[in-house]
């Protein structure tokens, strides 16, 4: 209560004396010199006694980038619980006669974002398919006179958020949520420069295979120093995509990570491929279900409506939410984050449309006793939208409120620490391990934006213990900065180091 009272006082006075002169002095210097001189930025750091340790524009609305995931993962853990997991069901239509299914096998997605993911927490595709095959055999099916159908209707809304930038939607980080996914709905392409400037870029589809897709590779080889501006432009409205842009002639070959808008079809295709390669007879191929509820095959011509009644064979489960949330924050995984937000919306309101997701998330924030009437405008779960606007003050209020949640010990452990795997691997390099082990925080970055928010705990603190008054909650958000990212990050790390010391 002391910390909340202090926050109210801060809002009334808009100023408070800084209690950490080194951190505040560093902020004051950065306002007049260095990479943040002409940027829009804000800072707030408070301890458990309600003392303001550092402050600059604490109520400035700023784009938080992936700091948004702090809110998504914390609210998901608070509302759904750490043991929540996603189910994927195998069912069939038709009848089984003498070991032959005269009908179709359905893979019914339940929103599991980890299906066939390269993530270490996910079950590998062959192991997952073995479970499904075993259950189908146990149901008395040895051959299928029908199709393998991917059913992704669990989520009914658009794959992507409407406020995302157009070129982001063709990347692996902008692929959007999906009721039935495969490999996080990403798709990898090997690219290399052509023989001369102006010649076509060499592109080869790598994984996963998508035989129904029609790709046009329009990229050209750029001059030395021109960098990489290749983007894939694609949509779930048609099986067509174009890669456009340039790739510098001096650049090394690389893997370009793009978006696959047909996760349900891809999952059905790979399960069909696994079955047929191990001797199963499947006469109807693979298919998915369009938004109108019609089955469509590789030719993308809608056929009959999907079955209204199916018989369940088995359900397999995702890793638990605590593991998914940890991967979300450590790798800053947009796909996982959007799935968590849409799941909160569906669980609370019955629909995953973004308007409903906002309602569900704000209900959780109100349950946490966070005042949402000021300081926050949220558009998505990942922070990819540039229409998210949040103040440093709101992040501090939210992170403080999370300390009282039963989910806090788990939530804290989902946050990366400097030097750990993921986005903070090289942060605070050279600083003592004793200092780095006291910091739990989330990064957020996009062009012109770099943010860090989180906690600094006293030495020896172990998650699960009561949060001591010496603990510091902080948020540092920088926007509209054209300086090199390395210089901006170094300046932010100076502030965090002074706070931690």
Residue ranges per structural domain of the chain: 2-82+321-500, 86-319
What is the 3-state secondary structure of 340-379?
HHHHHHHHHHCCCCHHHHHHHHHHHHHHCCCCCCCCEECC
Tokens at residue 28, please?
């004051």
Distance of CA 464 to the CA centre of its chain: 26
3-state SS assignment for residue 287 = strand
Q: Residue 208: is the preceding peptide bond cis (ω within 30°)?
A: yes
Look up residue 253 and give its DSSP letter: P
Are 28 and 20 a contacting pair, CB within 8 Å? Answer: no
319 and 122 Cβ atoms separated by less than 8 Å: yes
Q: How far is CA 146 from CA 103, 142, 374, 408, in A?
A: 5, 12, 55, 48
- Tens of pLDDT along the chain (501 residues)? 445 444 444 443 444 445 789 999 999 999 999 999 999 999 999 999 999 999 999 999 999 999 999 999 999 999 999 999 999 999 999 999 999 999 999 999 999 999 999 999 999 999 999 999 999 999 999 999 999 999 999 999 899 999 999 999 999 999 988 999 999 999 999 999 999 999 999 999 999 999 999 999 999 999 999 999 999 999 999 999 999 999 999 999 999 999 999 999 999 999 999 999 999 999 999 999 999 999 999 999 999 999 999 999 999 999 999 999 999 999 999 999 999 999 999 999 999 999 999 999 999 999 999 999 999 999 999 999 999 999 999 999 999 999 999 999 999 999 999 998 889 999 999 999 999 999 999 999 999 999 999 999 999 999 999 999 999 999 999 999 999 999 999 999 999 999 998
| CB atoms near residue 73 (< 10 Å) | 30
Angle, CA 239 vertex, CA 90 and CA 111 arms, to 5°: 35
Query: Of the candidates 190, 164, 157, which has an alpha carbon nearest to the alpha carbon of residue 291?
Result: 157
What is the second-level CATH architecture of the domain 2-82+321-500? 3-Layer(aba) Sandwich (3.40)
Instruction: Give dist(CA 169, CA 341) in Å, integer.
Output: 18
Distance CA 115, CA 136 (A): 19
Give burial (CB, 10 Å; 0-12/13-18/19+) of 308.
exposed
CATH 3.50.50.60, domain 86-319, yes or no: no
């Amino acid at each position: 209560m002391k910390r909340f009272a202090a926050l109210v006082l801060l809002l009334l006075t808009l100023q408070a004396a800084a209690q950490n002169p080194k951190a505040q002095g560093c902020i004051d210097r950065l306002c007049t010199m260095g990479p943040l001189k002409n940027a829009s930025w804000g800072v707030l750091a408070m301890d458990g006694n309600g003392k303001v340790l550092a402050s600059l524009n604490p109520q400035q609305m700023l784009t938080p980038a992936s700091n948004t995931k702090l809110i998504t993962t914390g609210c998901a853990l608070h509302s759904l619980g750490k043991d929540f997991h996603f189910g994927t069901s195998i069912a069939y239509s038709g009848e089984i006669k003498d070991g032959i299914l005269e009908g179709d096998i359905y893979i019914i997605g339940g929103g599991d974002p980890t299906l066939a993911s390269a993530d270490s927490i996910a079950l590998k595709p062959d192991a997952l398919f073995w479970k499904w095959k075993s259950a189908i055999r146990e149901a008395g099916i040895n051959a299928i006179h029908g199709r393998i159908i991917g059913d992704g209707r669990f989520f009914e809304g658009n794959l992507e958020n409407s406020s995302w930038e157009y070129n982001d939607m063709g990347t692996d980080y902008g692929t959007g949520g999906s009721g039935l996914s495969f490999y996080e709905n990403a798709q990898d392409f090997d690219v290399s420069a052509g023989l001369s400037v102006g010649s076509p870029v060499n592109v080869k589809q790598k994984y996963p295979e998508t035989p129904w897709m029609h790709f046009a590779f329009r990229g050209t080889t750029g001059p030395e120093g021109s960098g990489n501006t290749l983007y894939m432009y694609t949509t779930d409205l048609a099986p067509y995509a174009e890669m456009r842009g340039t790739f510098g002639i001096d650049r090394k070959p690389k893997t370009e990570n793009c978006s696959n808008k047909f996760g349900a079809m891809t999952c059905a295709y790979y399960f069909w491929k696994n079955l047929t390669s191990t001797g199963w007879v499947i006469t109807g191929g693979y298919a998915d279900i369009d938004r109108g509820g019609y089955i469509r095959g590789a030719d993308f011509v809608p056929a009959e409506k999907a079955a209204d009644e199916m018989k369940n064979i088995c359900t397999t489960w995702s890793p638990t939410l605590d593991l998914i949330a940890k991967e979300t924050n450590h790798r800053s995984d947009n796909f996982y984050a959007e799935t968590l937000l849409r799941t909160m919306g569906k669980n609370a309101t019955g629909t995953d449309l973004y308007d409903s997701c906002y309602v569900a998330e704000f209900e959780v924030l109100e349950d946490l006793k966070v005042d949402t009437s000021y300081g926050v405008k949220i558009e998505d779960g990942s922070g990819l939208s540039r229409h998210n606007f949040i103040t440093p003050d709101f992040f501090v209020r939210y992170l403080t409120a999370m300390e009282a949640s039963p989910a806090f010990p788990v939530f804290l452990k989902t946050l990366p620490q400097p030097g750990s795997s993921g986005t903070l691997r090289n942060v605070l390099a050279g600083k003592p391990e004793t200092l780095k082990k006291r910091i739990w925080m989330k990064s957020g970055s996009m062009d012109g934006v770099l943010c860090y928010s989180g906690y600094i705990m006293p030495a020896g603190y172990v998650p699960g213990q009561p949060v001591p008054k010496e603990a510091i909650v902080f948020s540092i958000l920088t926007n509209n900065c054209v300086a090199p990212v390395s210089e901006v990050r170094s300046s932010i790390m100076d502030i965090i180091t002074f706070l931690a010391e």
